[in-house]
Amino acid sequence: MNIIVCIKQVPSSNEVRLDPVTKTIIRDGSQSVINPFDAFALEEAVRLKERLGGTVSVLSMGIPAAEALLRDAMSRGADRALLLSDRAFAGADTLATSYALSVGVRKLGGFRLIFCGKMAIDGDTAQIGPELAEHLGIPHVTNVYEIVEASESEVLCCRNMDGLRQLICVSTPAVLTIAKDINQPRMPSITGVRSAMTAPLEVMDTVAAGVERAWCGLDGSPTQVLSVEVPKRSSECIFLSGDMHEQVSALKKLIREEL
């Protein structure tokens, strides 16, 4: 079973602040980490490989520094990696990103399954998996929280659909998006870290990947961000006063009013 796992580099913190004076957005510098949902997808792929044989390839579109992320994935059991990196990929929305990834998938080739995290914690769109499947013309299943059985030709899995558990049989090749807590991702092993340093990692720009540049990055993105703002939050919190007994009496009254 050859599996491709798509991973994304995200900031380790979501924290953003609004500068009170200039009213501009400040993002506190933070480290980049693997999108947590992708870590579950990677672990699930490595487990399937250990059970059924085959290979796990990791694929990412990102800045050159994302190479470290792919090396880390290889220390956790992936066999090879492809990084799509080019300034022409910058500013991509989900359509342009999924298009570029579909080209990367074809470059890697020979897969039966593609795993993506259910969503990324910075964009929160959950659109890449289904859009990638559409570009490739293969079926997809979202929000998979259990893989019951897998063979070269089909996969039996459970997905959560608005509180319904659906047991689904999907023929391969297919894209699965993986929910959190499907497994407990492993830590890198010492031998894993060592072999990851020399494991095959290819970096391709738009030319090497053979993508249509007009479909990549900001140029290839139908959507564009008009503005971003930090949402206003109520700052009018009322602190209940008095001693413990009085505060709780007031609290109780508030609760009774709301019930």
Partner 1 sequence: MAGLIIDLEKCIGCGVCVKGCSAGVLSVSGRKAVIGESCVLCGVCAQNCPVGAISIEKRKDAFFNIDEYHDVWVFAEQREQKVLPVVFELLGKGRQLADARGCRLCAVLAGGSGISKQAAQLFAAGADIVYLCEEECFTFCMEEPFRALLCKLIQELKPEIMLFGATDFGRSLAPRVAANSKTGLTADCTFLEIDSKSGLLRQTRPAFGGNLMATIICSHHRPQMATVRPGVMAAPVTGNGRTGKLIRVMLPEHIDNRVQVIETAQIVSAASIADAEILVVAGKGIGSSKNMKLIYELAELIGAQVGVSRAVVDAGWCDYSHQVGQTGFTVSPRLMLSFGVSGAIQHLAGITRTETLIAINNDPSAVIFNISRYAVVGDCVQVLNELIFQLRQDDRGSKQ
- Restricting to residues 24-43, name those near partner 1 by CB under 8 A: 24-27, 29, 36
Q: Does 207 bind partner 1 (CB under 8 A)?
A: no
Of residues 169, 197, 207, 208, which one binds partner 1 by CB under 8 A?
169
Q: How many residues bind to partner 1 according to rule CB under 8 A?
A: 95
CB of 140 vs partner 1, minimal distance in Å: 7
Q: Does 166 bind partner 1 (CB under 8 A)?
A: yes
Nearest to 201 by CA among 81, 94, 101, 118: 81
Cα–Cα dist 259/250, whole Å: 14
CB of 191 vs partner 1, minimal distance in Å: 29
CB of 73 vs partner 1, minimal distance in Å: 20
> Under rule CB under 8 A, which residues in 115-134 are in contact with partner 1?
121-131, 133-134
Phi-psi region of 224 (alpha: psi -120 to 50; beta: other; left: phi over 0): beta
- Let me know the angle formed at the C-alpha of 251 by 250 and 253, rounded to the nearest 5 degrees: 65
Number of Cβ within 10 Å of residue 32's Cβ equals 16
> Under rule CB under 8 A, which residues in 55-94 are in contact with partner 1?
63-65, 87-88, 90-91, 93-94
3-state secondary structure of 148: strand
The whole-angstrom distance between residue 109's C-alpha and the CA centroid of its chain comes to: 21
Of residues 5, 108, 114, 174, which one binds partner 1 by CB under 8 A?
174
